[in-house]
Amino acid sequence: MDVSGKKALVFGGTSGIGLAATRQLAERGTEVVAISRDPSKAGELPAGVTTRGCDVLDRDAMAALFAECAPFDILVSAATGGTRAIGPFLNMDMVGFQNSFDKLWGYANVVRFGTEHLRDDGAIVLVSGSPARRSDGAMIAVGATGAAVEAFARSVALEIAPRRLNVVSPGIIDTPMNPLEGEARDRHYAAATKDRLIARAGTADEVAHAILFTIENDFVTGTTVDVDGGWLLA
């Protein structure tokens, strides 16, 4: 796909990985609508990018937004959907565990209500996470949610062909989701990645580059692309 002149909707497109994808698409000449719950908090956006407010868990609002923006060629969702429960499963508050799956429900809404307005040669990309296939004691809820997202994408890719659906799975990425600053932030990422094959945190731009690959390569569908610094091997 030549994305120049195409139209893309990017959920979670005003911060972090979604913002990086918004910028890279816009740089390639794509008309981008960046969508988040609160667009007023958007990072610096390229000229020509428009913003819209929408909660991916609000099905009526999602259906209305898609109808208004139709037709389009590209759908990207990096929206988390809500909170994430962290910690050992047997000590976990089950409401928190359940709420972690809001990410899956949000993605399901994007695909369910967006696909009917997506052009036949269109592409969808969802953002999962490396704990989906290699977790630790603190990432049970995140890993279970990510695994569900990846299984969902593989199954739905069969149904929506010739439209394409792929997943990008980032490892530890330095994004605004982390509230730490300065030396505390540096120490956090150094400790978290010291045993990885690439001993640093990834960048949102590196993940967005993989998102663009799955959009532009017409021979890729139903797969997961890892951008994790060797997380699955170390």
pLDDT band of 178, cuts 50, 70, 90: confident
Is the per-residue pLDDT at 82 higher than 80?
no
Is the per-residue pLDDT at 143 higher than 90?
yes
Mean pLDDT value of segment 207-232? 96
Average pLDDT, the chain: 94
Is the per-residue pLDDT at 67 higher than 90?
yes
Q: pTM score, two decimals?
A: 0.94
pLDDT tens digits along 215-224: 999 999 999 9
Is the per-residue pLDDT at 41 higher than 90?
no
- C-alpha 134 chain-centroid distance: 18
**Domain-wise residue ranges, the chain:** 7-227
Q: What is the CATH number of domain 7-227?
A: 3.40.50.720
pLDDT tens digits along 105-142: 999 999 999 999 999 999 999 999 999 988 777 889 99
Q: Can you give the pLDDT at residue 180?
A: 84
